[in-house]
Amino acid sequence: MPWRVSEENKVEVLLVTSRDTRRWVIPKGWPMKGRKPHIVAAIEAQQEAGLHGKVEKSKLGDFEYEKRMKGGGAVDCVVEVYALRVEQQRKKWREKGQRVTYWFDYAVAAQQVDEPGLKELILAFGKGLER
């Protein structure tokens, strides 16, 4: 979950649109052989949103969702979520033309996503940082 503290000292979360359904989601992807999950999370954030920063080694939590496949089927997925404190967003990245990115106040980001488990993670994370 990409995050930063804004100039107004507010916790913000970056969301990206999914390529197929254009829903707001966090960057995510399939496991990569030989790579630790937190490293994969950082790679996906770089590829999907051009983000670079410090990723936490321990996960924040996980959530479930139904991934719609191109052939018309669906797969039940469990996503492990890792916090990525964003230090930079590049001007160009691999999937820039395929997705929209936007920084939301964490509470607004939670309203934008469809998955109940992800909503809960975003809210708990943001509230924890506000203290």
Instruction: For 69-128, write each residue's pLDDT tens digit.
Output: 778 888 899 999 999 999 999 999 989 989 999 999 999 999 999 999 999 999 999 999
pTM above 0.85, yes or no: yes
Look at residue 9 and give its three-state secondary structure: coil
Q: Which helix (H) or strand (E) holds 113?
A: none
Q: Give the Cα separation of 60 and 42 in Å (integer).
A: 14
Strands 51-55 and 24-25: unpaired
pLDDT of res. 111: 98
Model confidence pLDDT, tens digit, residues 59-78: 999 999 988 877 888 889 99
Question: 2-130: CATH homologous superfamily?
Answer: Nucleoside Triphosphate Pyrophosphohydrolase (3.90.79.10)
Identify the CA nearest to 107 among candidates 123, 120, 125: 123
pLDDT of residue 38: 97
Distance CA 44, CA 126 (A): 21
Label residue 130 by pLDDT band (50, 70, 90).
Answer: confident
131 pLDDT more than 90: no
Any idea where the domains of the chain sit in the sequence?
2-130
pLDDT at position 73? 86
- Calculate the alpha carbon distances from 85 to 69, 88, 100 in Å: 30, 9, 19
At residue 126's C-alpha, the angle toward residues 123 and 127, to 5°, is: 80
